[in-house]
Structure 1
Amino acid sequence: MEILSSAMAMMMMMMQKEHLDYVLVPLGLMVFMLYHAWLLYSIQCNSLRTVIGLNAESRHQWVLAMMSDPMKNGVLAIQTLRNNMMASTTLATAAITLTSLIGIFASKDSDDPISSTKRISITICFLVAFLCNVQSIRYYAHVSFLITAPTLRDKEKYIEHIAKTLNLGSHAWSLGLRAFYLSFSFFLWIYGAVPMFCCCCFTSFILYFLDTTSKITKDIDNNLFKKESGTNNHDAEAALEPDYYPLAGDNVCQNTSLDNV
C-alpha cells in the first residue's frame, strides 16, 4: 500500500507539472508578446517616446552629417559601419554555434515530447537571431556602398534611402538581440514552468525601462534635432551639388529606380 500511495503521489506531481507547463508557459509568452506589441504601437504612434525611435532619428542625422562632406567623412562612415557589422557577426556566430551544440545533444537523447519542445523552442530562437543578424550585416554592407557612391540628381531621396537602409539594419539587429532575450526564458523552462514565467515577466519589466526614454533625454534630443536638422540639410545639399557624377547611360529612369533597390 505504501508503494502504491507513493506511486500515486508521484503521478499527481507529474500531472501538476504538466498543468503548469500548459498554463504558465503560454502566459509568460503572452506577457512577452504583449509588451512588444505595445512597443511596436508606441514606435508607430510616438516614436520619440522610445529609444528605438530616438536612435532611428539619430542615425538619420548621422547620415546627413556624413553626406555633408563625403570626402572628409567617408573613412569615418565606413569604420562606423564596420564596427556594427562586427557586432552583428559576433552575435550571428554565437547563435549558429549554440544551435549546432543543441542539435548535437538532441540527437543523442530521446526524451519525452515536452523536453523536445523545449529544445526546439531554444533552437528556433537562435535560428531567428542568426537570420536577423545576417540580414543586419547585409543592410550595413549595402549602406557602406551607398554612402560612398556617386551622388545622384535627386539628393534628398538618395539620402533618405541611405538612412532608411541603415535603420533597417539596426532594426534587424534589435530583433536578433530580442530573440536572444527570449531564449533565456526557454533555457529556464528546462528547470520548470515557474522560472520560465518569472523570466518572461522580469525581462519585459527590464526592457520597458531600457526601451522608453525619460523626459529630460527626449527634450534634449528634440531640441538637438530641431536645431541641427535645418543646418545638416543645407550643408548636405550644398556639399553634394558639386559632387554629381553622371552614371553611364544616366537618365531619369535610372535615377528614380534607386528607391526600388
Structure 2
Amino acid sequence: MGFQKESLDLVLVPCGLILMFVYHVVLLYRYLKYPETTVLGFENHTKRAWVERVMELDDVSNMDQPLSTISSNTSTATYFASISLTLSSLIGAWIASNNSIFESDLIYGDTSSSTLMFKYISLLICFLLAFFCFVQATRCFINASYLISMPNCNTPIYYVEVAVIRGGEFWQIGLRALYFALNLLLWFFGPIPMFVASVFMVALLHHLDSNSTPLHQFQPLCKPRGERLISNTRVATQVEHYV
C-alpha cells in the first residue's frame, strides 16, 4: 500500500503542534526559573519599577498619566477580546452552514468531513481561550486602576504589582492562543503550510522572547514610599473616566 496524501495530516500536524507546545513549555520554565533571560521577565521587572514610582507619587495631578497607561492596556485587551469572540461566532456560523470550500482536491492533505470538523473545533477552542484570557487581563487592569486611584489610603505596592503583572500574563497567554490559531488556520490549506508555519513561528518567537539586556536596577525615590497619602478625592472619580 503506497503513501497517501491523507497520511500527511497524521505526521506533520502533530509534529507542528508538538513543536509549538515544547517551545512554550521551555519558555515557561525559563520564565519561572530564569526570568531575566526572557522578554516577559524583563517587562515584569520594568513594570514593578513603574508601579513603585506610581505609588510614591504625592501630587494628585500626576495620577493622570498612570491611569491613562492602565486605560490604554484595558482598551486594547477589550478590543482583542471582542475580535476573538467575533471570530468564534463566525467559525460557529461557518460550521452550521456546512460549507465545503476546504474540501477541494487542490488541498494536499486529508479533506474528509471528520477532519474538517476537527479543524473547526480546534480553531474555535483557540479563539475562545484567547477571549477568556483577554477578558481576565481586562479584569486585572481594572483592579489595578482602582488600587492606584484609591484615595486617603496607603495601598500596598505588592497588590498593584500582582494586578499589573497578572494582567500582562493573561495578555501573553491570549496572544499565544492566537498564535496557535494562526497555525490551525493554515491547516485548512493543508498540513504542509501548517508545519512550515509552526517551524517559522517557533524560530521567530525564540528571537522575540529571548532577552540579553541586563536588568537595570532602578533607584528608589528620596522620599519613603510610606509617606504617600492621597488627600484629594478627585482621583477616585478618574477611574470612571479612564476605565
For structure 1, the 5+ residue unaligned runs are: 1-7, 246-261
User: 1:69 touches 1:239 (CA, 8 Å); kept in 2?
Assistant: no
RCO comparison, higher one (Cα < 8 Å, 6+)? 2
* Whole-angstrom distance in 1 between the partners of 2:152 and 2:203: 45
Structure 1 outlier segments of 4+, above 3 Å: 150-153, 242-245
CA deviations over 1:200-238 (Å, ceiling 9, x no partner): 111111000110113xxx22xx2x3x2x24x24x53515
Provide the residue aligned with 1:169 in structure 2: 167
1:22-48 per-residue CA deviation (whole Å, 9 max, x = no partner) reads 111111111001000110111111111
Distance 1:238 1:119 in 2: 54
* RMSD value, Cα: 2.1
Q: Higher helix share goes to which structure?
A: 1
How many residues align? The count is 219
- Contact 1:143–1:165 at 8 Å: present in 2 too? yes
Report the counterpart of residue 75 of structure 2 in structure 1. 86
C-alpha displacement of 1:78: 1.0
Aligned partner of 2:33 in structure 1 is 45
Matches of residues 1-261 of structure 1 in structure 2 within 5 Å? Answer: 16-70=4-58, 71-109=60-98, 112-150=113-151, 152=153, 158-214=156-212, 218-219=213-214, 222=215, 224=216, 226=217, 228-229=218-219, 231-232=220-221, 235=223, 237-240=225-228, 242-243=229-230
Q: Which structure has the larger Rg over C-alpha atoms?
A: 1
Instruction: Give the aligned residue type for 1:129.
Output: A
TM-score when scaled to structure 1? 0.78
Equivalent-residue separation in structure 2 for 1:179 and 1:80 (angstroms):
25
- More displaced, 141-150 or 103-112? 103-112
Residue identity opposite 2:94 in structure 1? F
Q: Percent identity?
A: 32
